[in-house]
């Protein structure tokens, strides 16, 4: 018997995007379910869109292999992450939840769009991980549901800072789809006006060289996720993406660590209580917000504490797993 009197289920989590499946797997196991996380080979996933059709036969073979593997696994229900991979559920003819994550919809191609359409049509339930994706999903599945990304709030937790700590962490990739031009310009402005402020960013992405040229920026190598709480714990302020008006796992993890997050977020209405992000949508606004928070550690601490409380109330992985469990239970018992 699982938590809350729910009958334990055998669940397959297929694919892991931004560690969402990892967190759900852990939380569902804690609730008493038998969960298997299956990582597909994703043949050709890193190839340029123009080349991907060349590996289509191998990708189809992989999808058929996954469909057979899951069908033989006698799972009660399957949770598939990334929209076009829902074709595995279509091929296997088993009940599945489809979970959309962003690039799968925003960067769909003539090859993936028909797959996505079939997956959306056949899924028993559809989740999407950031509120901006409603515009892509709702026209085909009006019943699709925004599911907040699950955060392990035991691992991502507050750590003490010295009063004089004046470090900033860029908590997103240095890529165009994160609004990196705005963040870069803000860091360049801070280098001129506040050379005392130290900034850390993760190398990788098209703007890496430009960040490396800024004197008070330190680039670190991409790292294991297990090191992220410690990295966040050494910084007083985090800067998130300034692009779609939504945020990802990195910004949410910073909130969980009780760090104020400077970002551009425009979807307050999807929550009962708006998230306590520090809003900024231009280089000047980002630089000003960072300076204000570092000059007033008490303010940064207050915002950080409210950020932690809000995150726990809306994104704790236990809460999110409970919602997934409810949907899976309804599917298994034939109510959906």
pLDDT digits (tens, 9 = 90+) for 82-130: 999 999 999 999 999 999 999 999 988 888 899 999 999 999 999 999 9
- In this prediction, residue 44 carries a pLDDT of 63
In terms of Cβ atoms closer than 10 Å to its own Cβ (0-12, 13-18, 19+), residue 135 is exposed
Helices (H), the chain: 20-30, 56-72, 87-92, 103-106, 113-122, 134-137, 180-193, 208-212, 228-233, 249-256, 283-295, 297-315, 317-332
**50 phi/psi in degrees, rounded to 5:** -70, -25
Please spell the DSSP secondary structure of 245-277, one letter per residue: S---HHHHHHHHTT--EEE----GGGSSS----
Q: What is the pLDDT of residues 185-196, one digit of tens each?
A: 999 999 999 999
pLDDT tens profile 45-82: 666 665 666 666 788 899 999 999 999 999 999 999 99
pLDDT in tens, 205-240: 999 999 999 999 999 999 888 899 999 999 999 999
Q: Compute the average pLDDT of residues 290-319.
A: 97
Please give the order of strands across the beta sheet that includes 237-239: 217-220, 198-202, 167-170, 237-239, 261-263, 278-279
Inter-residue contact 137 to 126 (CB < 8 Å): yes
Task: Tell me what percent of the residues of the chain surpass a pLDDT of 90.
Answer: 84
Q: Are strands 125-128 and 96-100 parallel, antiparallel or unpaired?
A: parallel
Structure tokens at 120: 């959306």
Choose the weakest-confidence range: 38-42, 49-53, 67-71, 282-286.
Answer: 49-53
Answer yes or no: is pLDDT of 266 > 80: yes
User: What b/e readout covers 270-304, taking b as 16+ CB neighbours within 10 angstroms?
Assistant: eeeeebbbbebbebebbbbbbbebbeebeebbebb
Q: Which two tokens stand for residue 326?
A: 């409810």
Q: What is the mean pLDDT of the chain?
A: 93
- Write out pLDDT tens, residues 156-201: 999 988 766 779 999 999 999 999 999 999 999 999 999 999 999 9
Question: Quick one: average pLDDT of 308-323?
Answer: 98
Return the sign of the alpha-carbon dihedral for residues 118, 123, 128, 129: negative
Mind listing the domains of the chain with CATH numbers?
A: 3-150+316-332 (3.40.50.2000), 167-315 (3.40.50.2000)
Mean pLDDT of 12-35: 97
Structure-block tokens of residue 122: 């056949």
Whole-model pTM: value is 0.92
In the predicted structure, residue 335 carries a pLDDT above the cut 90 = no
pLDDT at 158 (0 to 100): 96
The DSSP output letter for 151 is B
Q: Read off the DSSP letter of residue 8.
A: P
The distance of Cα 47 from the centroid of its chain, to the nearest Å, equals 22
Q: What is the pLDDT of residue 35?
A: 98
With cut-offs at 50, 70 and 90, classify the pLDDT of residue 259: very high
pLDDT of residue 1: 72
> What's the pLDDT at 164?
66
């Amino acid at each position: 018997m699982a938590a809350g009197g729910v009958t334990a289920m055998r669940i397959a989590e297929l694919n892991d995007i931004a560690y969402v499946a990892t967190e759900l797997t852990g939380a569902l196991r804690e609730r008493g379910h038998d969960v298997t996380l299956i990582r597909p080979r994703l043949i050709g996933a890193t190839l340029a869109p123009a080349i991907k059709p060349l590996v289509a036969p191998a990708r189809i073979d992989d999808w058929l292999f996954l469909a057979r593997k899951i069908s033989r696994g006698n799972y009660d229900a399957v949770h598939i992450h990334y929209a076009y991979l829902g074709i595995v559920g279509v091929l296997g003819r088993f009940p599945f939840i489809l979970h959309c994550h962003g690039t799968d919809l925003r960067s769909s191609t003539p090859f993936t769009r028909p797959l996505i359409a079939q997956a959306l049509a056949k899924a028993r339930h559809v989740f999407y991980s950031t509120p901006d994706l409603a515009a892509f999903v709702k026209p085909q599945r009006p019943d699709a549901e925004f599911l907040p990304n699950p955060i392990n709030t035991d691992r991502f937790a507050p750590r003490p800072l010295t009063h004089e700590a004046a470090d900033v962490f860029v908590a997103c990739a240095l890529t165009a789809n994160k609004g990196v031009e705005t963040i870069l310009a803000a860091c360049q402005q801070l280098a001129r006006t506040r050379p005392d402020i130290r900034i850390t960013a993760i190398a990788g992405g098209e703007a890496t060289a430009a960040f490396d040229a800024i004197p008070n920026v330190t680039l670190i190598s991409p790292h294991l996720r297990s090191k992220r709480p410690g990295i966040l714990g050494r910084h007083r302020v985090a800067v998130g993406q300034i692009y779609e008006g939504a945020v990802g796992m990195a910004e949410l993890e910073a909130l969980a660590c009780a760090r104020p997050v400077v970002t551009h977020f425009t979807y307050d209405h999807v929550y009962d209580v708006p998230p306590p992000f520090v809003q900024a949508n231009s280089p000047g606004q980002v630089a000003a917000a960072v300076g204000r928070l570092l000059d007033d550690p008490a303010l940064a601490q207050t915002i950080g504490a409210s950020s932690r409380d809000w995150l726990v109330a809306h994104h704790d992985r236990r809460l999110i797993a409970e919602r997934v469990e409810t949907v899976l239970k309804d599917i298994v018992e034939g109510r959906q």
